[in-house]
Every structure is written in C-alpha cells, then in structure tokens.
Amino acid sequence: RAVPAVSAAEPIRRRAPTKGRVQGVGFRWSCLRMAEAGGLAGWCKNLPDGRVEACFEGDQAAVEEALAWCREGPSSAIVTSVDVTPETPQGERGFRLG
C-alpha cells in the first residue's frame, strides 16, 4: 500500500538554528512579524553561542517561506547557514520570542 502524502491542510513543524551575524540586528523581532503575517505558530530565541533559533509550525507553504526568510534575515543580518530539522507538530498557537 502506498503511504498517503501529507495533506496541505496538515501542519508541519521545522526547527531552524541560524548562524552568522544574527544577534543584535533585529532578527528575532523581524522573524516575529514575518511569522505572524504568515499565520505561523512557534518561537524565536537567541542562543548563547551567537546563533538564533526559530521554530515554525503551520501550513507547509508558510513554513517553507519562513525558512527561506531565515536564510536571508533582516537587511542588517549576515546569515551563513540555517540547519533545518523536521519535528512533530505540537499544536502550538501564536508566535513568541524567547
């Protein structure tokens, strides 16, 4: 039997630690605005090693757009890498900063 494809209506969740010049450049606040505009749930926080980590949950297309945004960041950021990890959706609501 074939495994059914993930429906576009089913939410997905992706964690995305981002490296580069991403702290002190408005990355988290820009991420918050972008995620809210895309109807995404999740969070974004600074990590002690200088990275910023975001987790997005929602519609697959919106999550993919958010990940693409992370690869660029706000205009003052210099992103060198984004390591995307799939996770099981948690049913989160709202987007928050950590």
Active site residue 33: no
Which pLDDT belongs to residue 2? Answer: 59
pLDDT of residue 8: 55
Q: Which two tokens stand for residue 71?
A: 């690869």
Active-site residue identified among 15, 28, 33, 51: 28
Q: Which is the catalytic residue, given 1, 21, 33, 46?
A: 46
Annotation marks residue 93 as catalytic: no
Q: Residue 67: enclosing H or E segment and its boundaries? A: helix 60-70
For residues 75 and 63, give the distance between their C-alpha atoms in angstroms, rounded to a whole number. Answer: 20
Q: pLDDT tens, position by position, for the chain (98 residues)?
A: 555 555 557 999 999 999 999 999 999 999 999 999 999 999 999 999 999 999 999 999 999 999 999 999 999 999 999 999 999 999 999 999 99
Provide CB contacts within 8 A for 41, sequence distance 6+: 35, 56, 57, 58, 92, 93, 94, 95
Report pLDDT for 9: 74
Report the interhelical angle of 60-70 vs 27-37 (nearest 10°). Answer: 160
